[in-house]
Amino acid sequence: MVRGPVLVTMRRAVAATVMVLALWAQPALAEGRSWTGLRGETPVGDELMQLGEDVITTAGPPAGPPLSGQVLEDRTTALATTLRCPVCQSQSVQDSTSEAARNMRSQVQAMLAAGYDESQVFLYFEHSYGEFIRLMPRAEGFNLLVWAIPVAALVLGLLSVGLVVRRSMGAAATIPAVPAGEEEGDDLQSAPEDPSTDTPADTSGEQDPSIDGSLQPWLDRVRTELAESDG
């Protein structure tokens, strides 16, 4: 019998498949732009929603020119993208397929068509729902933290990375460079290998002209200590 996480995964897979099939069968839902099967009543005979009498009380008279056609559609889409759907989880009015979002989008469109500008549209929706309705909070007061924290975190992160890189480069610079052809162990292994013994050939006292003179004491000491430890 299937239990636990496997069962949960199977259920999720089935749910996802059903959702994909539903969206495939209903392209309108997938596009989110066509509205069918509405629960509520819609105005009959009007292409645009008639604005309620509360709009002028809240937002005042229209401050801009009335919009129409493609400009109206584009501005409606742009504004609806910045408004939060109140019945959804972190979705914009533009992205949501809920009926509440459709009504709000219609309201935005009607306000723009009547000549209300962007700030008046925000004013109207904030009057009803508060600042919650903005998907992007205004960059002022306490809200500044929302904008400042990511920037501060980025700057601190870059500074930390720079510091680490600088330290590691400084540490690398303090290690003496080994001359080419004299990598670790090269000198010791340069003597002919004697399979009968692990002791490297005693070359103490010999001066290899290819070796940097400053390294010679170091090499001599290594050879001496190796000889002592083997002896």
Interface contacts to another protein, rule CB under 8 A: 38-43, 49-54, 57-58, 86-87, 89, 99-100, 102-104, 106-107, 125-130, 132, 149, 152-153, 156, 160, 171, 174, 176, 217-218, 221
CB neighbourhood size of 96 (10 A): 22
Q: In the complex, what is the shortest distance from the CB of residue 131 to another protein, in angstroms, rounded to a whole number? A: 8
Q: In the complex, what is the shortest distance from the CB of residue 210 to another protein, in angstroms, rounded to a whole number? A: 19
Sign (positive/negative) of CA torsion 68, 74, 79, 81?
A: positive
Distance CA 86, CA 127 (A): 14
Cβ burial, residue 10 (10 Å; 0-12/13-18/19+): exposed
Give the DSSP letter of residue 19: H
Q: Which is nearer to another protein, 14 or 156 (CB)?
A: 156
Q: In the complex, what is the shortest distance from the CB of residue 7 to another protein, in angstroms, rounded to a whole number? A: 26
Q: Which is nearer to another protein, 56 or 201 (CB)?
A: 56
Q: Which is nearer to another protein, 130 or 205 (CB)?
A: 130
Give the DSSP letter of residue 200: P
Q: Which is nearer to another protein, 57 or 81 (CB)?
A: 57
Please name the residue that has the structure tokens 């020119």: 65
Give the DSSP letter of residue 83: B
Q: In the complex, what is the shortest distance from the CB of residue 230 to another protein, in angstroms, rounded to a whole number? A: 19
Q: In the complex, what is the shortest distance from the CB of residue 24 to another protein, in angstroms, rounded to a whole number? A: 26
Residues 6+ apart with CB under 8 A from 196: none
